[in-house]
A and B are shown apart, each in its own frame.
Chain A
Amino acid sequence: MWSELTKAIAHINVPADWVGIRVVKETSSNRHVRDGLPQANGKYSTMGAMLEVLVNGCLGYAATNSLDLGSLQAAAEIAYKQALVASEWRVYDFRVTERPKVVGEYNSPFLEPLDSLCPGEINDLLVRICQTLKVSDKIVQATASITSSEKESWFVSSNGSEVYQKFLSFGNHYGAIAQDGAIVQQRTNNGSHANCYQGGMELLKRDTLWQQVRQVGEQAVELLTAEECPTIRTNLVLAPDQMMLQIHESVGHPLEIDRILGDERNYAGGSFVSKSDFGNLVYGSPLMNITFDPTVPGEFASYGFDDTGVVATREYLIKEGVLQRGLGSLESQARAGVAGVACARASSWNRPPIDRMANLNLEPGNATFAEIIAEIEHGVYMESNRSWSIDDRRYKFQFGCEYAKLIENGKLTKTLRNPNYRATTPEFWQSLTKVGNASNWQMYGTPFCGKGEPNQAIWVGHGSPVCLFANVEVFGGGS
């Protein structure tokens, strides 16, 4: 690929100030079984090139899945024509400094290749997971799926960038729906498709797999006879698999600088955070430390370079509760005059890079899970997201979980079903009272972070310990 691309970048003939070509090749596999019967077996392959040009301070792009020199030249001409026309109405006078020269390589860590199990073996395993989930006749649906992906990207530019990255990713999901008359309850392994990581087939072979599968089935049935979550203001303890969603929606998205600049107001929304808040805003309690960190080995959205070639580094977004910097690419940083991170990312070759959150982690504190629970007289502990909604400024939210336990006098007691909670973002994070330590810090990921016009679903990773929030409104289900 390198020889074709270096040849192409040398031959592209448009009078632009800068030209970049990013080629992405990805093959992903999806195998899905329901109630022991195959539902989907297949692979998705895509390959194409994104050409970007800078003309009179305006960036234009054209993407094509034909990679011959003629098609790339034709794409460059379309990109040039669009940028030239649009430059009269450009939103900002972009410079080549927003596309610096970078040379480098990144490879996901892995132990076992993704094809170390053949399709038949994977299906056998998924069938066995479904059988193990079905702990009772009350399980009316048992599902299991495995997804994997091998993705390569090459980036070259007219100012000498040459970046190669190869990502191996693996995800598994299983869950059960239990029903008893009108009562229906769902339980999965950590919420919908949350077990997504970079790495190989070794990620499946965890010692605790079968114990976890059985537990998911048992808890689905357990929820059928559980009490409804009470409607009350109380202490709320969130497991890392719910903290993932909490961080994503109420910290990640509002800190995206393109949202603050208004780019997303028509679709994903704006933000309650303004440019002047950086360096000043008390976002949460002093226990709140959030990093943007694409360097964590094996986390789902790790990378060496963003899709404009900027070197990825770990940065504090929020330190001891105070907002430090935003999730903004070099383009957004130039426009906003606010410090950002290497986060210009595109979902594939056929979308332009925009500000995305990559790995966003809540750094561990110093409490064990037992210590957190032990000091609570009354509260609710919730696991695994099942419902999420937040307003376009990322201020008022309501989230629901699959499974909860009542906390009484320092102990986990009754199981609760249909647990939900709602709050506003600043009030919630300022009520952060205890942060778990490294022993209960866990990381998850999702491939479904949606944003952008045209729309892009992208991979993100989130790590967090167990956290305690004081005086939160929780409530149950029902009509």
Chain B
Amino acid sequence: MKIDDLSALETSFNQLIETLIIKKKSSEEFTVKLSSERSQFTRFNHAKVRQTGHISDGWIELTLMENQRSSFRQFPFTGNWEIDWQTAYQYLQELREEIGLLPVDPYLVLPTGNNTSREVHSGKLLPIDEVVPAIVQVVTELDFTGIYAGGVVIKGYGDSQGQKHWFATDTFTLDYSLFTPSGQAVKGTFAGSNWDESAYIQKISQDKKQLELLAFSPKELPRGQYKTYFAPAAVADLSMMLSWGAVSEADLQQGNSALAILSRKDKVLSPKFNLKENFKLGLVPRFNAWGEMADPELPIIEKGILVNTLINSRTAKEYQKTANGANSSETLRAPEITPGNLEFAEILPQLDTGLYVSNLHYLNWSDRPNGRITGMTRYACFWVEKGEIIAPIENLRFDESLYRFWGDNLVDFTNFQEFIPEVGTYESRELGGGLVPGMLVEDFTYTL
């Protein structure tokens, strides 16, 4: 997006907040959330273009609060003041009519703070007409599939108390796979704010070396328990399960958390396991749905002990806790698992005989109260014997409890981390990602 367009959007957003403050009754409070993007999406298959397009989208969510009741309306935000204000004013009136009909919400959180922030991260992305040649020309002889997503993403917040936040960032992600004729694949992500052609060429060149390892006939393994090395991308997948009914204080209180056992101290995890929220990388906004700022760092699990859960202001009010800036769903936004002592060169020797798992797929709780997770291996997973990669494996299903693989069976984390970017695009392009090491685990359970 051009700088002029970006500043017009910001001006329009600010004007919306200011006008709502003027229009609101003294008994009313409101919050306004903004999400906007201008994104190019180009999808590849067999190193050719399957779909290519551009999406210009944006929405406002206006929440009105009065007499301990609230309701919201989400509506398009175009940046055209006349249209946007007309829509906003119509919904403001509709909310006023509705709100009196709703039941009292004893845990309603009113905006109270005085936080403001403004972050604009400019990037140097590929121009629209250079994306396809820049990507395809490097991979023409490969079975390359995936998606390039790039452009500006904006998140904004304002409220009736005068809090205001603006976060705009230029980013791209190239999320891709390289396939062998037999269907084995290497997975890669290339992401950032500045397109670096030589780094891209180098990355593909490294992937080609891994492809060579996949050329052997896949080995079919019987179900059983295997010592396993999980590369950082696989660890990131496992850690994201903690956002789904685990680290949330509300989930813990309402019988819906996989960490209830840990919280009750019925079990502990390995002292080598440390998890925290780390916003210092600055890739995601620190403000939440009430304009509150999370601390730059929040330890969650330290040396295997649950030291904090994610608590938003609503949960804090309901359960008499102290809020820590969590978002409305109390999910991880900037997770980091701290490194251990396993050196890169020691991964295969320490694994000795077992599985090298690069990626996982389709994880789900198979028994959430017991922390048991099922899922599949996927992409570049190998059978290792005596410290040497022997062959790629046929995909295996696992079903294992986090209390085992992050507990007694955890051998070590690597002494290096990788940043695994978020590449999701369901509602809009997601930002951020997780900073995680690889890990070595004893007796990981594979079932099919």
Contact = CB atoms under 8 A, between A and B. Distances in A.
Interface in B165-216: 175-177, 179, 183, 185, 187
Residue of A47, A48, A89, A261 most packed against chain B (CB within 10 A)? A89
B163 interface: no
A352 B51 contact: yes
A90 B76 contact: no
Nearest to A269: B361
A84 to B, nearest CB: 8
A479 interface: yes
Contacts of A40: 72
A46 B59 contact: yes
Contacts of B98: 41, 119
Interface string A104-124: 000000000000001110011
Contacts of B375: 389
B45 interface: yes
Nearest to B369: A184
B54 interface: yes
Interface string A386-416: 0111111100101010000000000000000
Nearest to B106: A37
Interface stretch (A234-242, A361-369, A371-379, A447-455): A447-455
A120 B69 CA distance: 12
Contacts of A86: 42, 49, 52, 132
Given A65-B76, A123-B103, A389-B397, A85 B54 contact: no
B102 interface: yes
Contacts of B378: 269, 391-392
Contacts of B56: 62-66, 75
User: Quick one: which of B69, B71, B80 has the most chain A CB within 10 A?
Assistant: B71
A295 interface: no
B268 interface: no
A392 B51 contact: no
A338 interface: no
B340 interface: no
A82 interface: yes
B48 interface: yes
A81 B260 CA distance: 54
A303 to B, nearest CB: 22
Contacts of A101: none
B403 to A, nearest CB: 6
Interface size class of B (residues with CB under 8 A): 35 or more
B369 A44 contact: no
A37 B362 contact: no
B8 interface: no
Nearest to B55: A63
Contacts of A82: 40, 42, 52-54, 128-129
Interface in A56-105: 58-66, 75, 78-79, 81-83, 85-86, 88-91
Contacts of B129: 81-82, 85
Interface string A121-148: 0011001000000000000110000000
A177 interface: yes
Contacts, number: 255
A254 interface: no
Interface in B34-51: 39-43, 45-51
A38 interface: yes
Contacts of A152: none
Interface of A: 34, 37-38, 40-48, 58-66, 75, 78-79, 81-83, 85-86, 88-91, 118-120, 123-124, 127, 140-141, 177-179, 182-184, 186, 261-263, 265-267, 269-270, 350-352, 387-393, 396, 398, 400, 418, 420, 422-424, 450, 453-457, 477-479
Interface stretch (B11-19, B143-151, B153-161): B143-151
Contacts of A478: 367, 370, 372
B269 to A, nearest CB: 13
6 contacts: A48-B57, A65-B77, A140-B254, A263-B145, A389-B376, A391-B397
A91 B146 CA distance: 13
B299 interface: no
A390 B362 contact: yes
Given A43-B74, A178-B255, A266-B187, 7 more contacts: A37-B103, A86-B42, A91-B48, A123-B102, A141-B256, A184-B369, A391-B395
A278 to B, nearest CB: 19
A143 B371 CA distance: 23
A38 B136 CA distance: 51
A398 B254 contact: no
B48 A389 contact: no
B228 interface: no
A270 B183 CA distance: 9
Nearest to A52: B53
Contacts of B106: 37
B177 A266 contact: yes
Contacts of A455: 424-426
Among A61, A266, A396, the one with the most B-chain Cβ atoms within 10 Å of its Cβ is: A266
Given A42-B71, A418-B367, A350 B132 contact: no
Contact of B76 (A45, A91, A423, A479): A45
Contact of A453 (B74, B146, B256, B372): B146
B366 A387 contact: yes
Contacts of B103: 37-38, 120, 123-124, 127
A37 B376 contact: no
Contacts of A140: 254-255
A422 B447 contact: yes
A422 B132 CA distance: 42
B397 A42 contact: no
A50 to B, nearest CB: 9
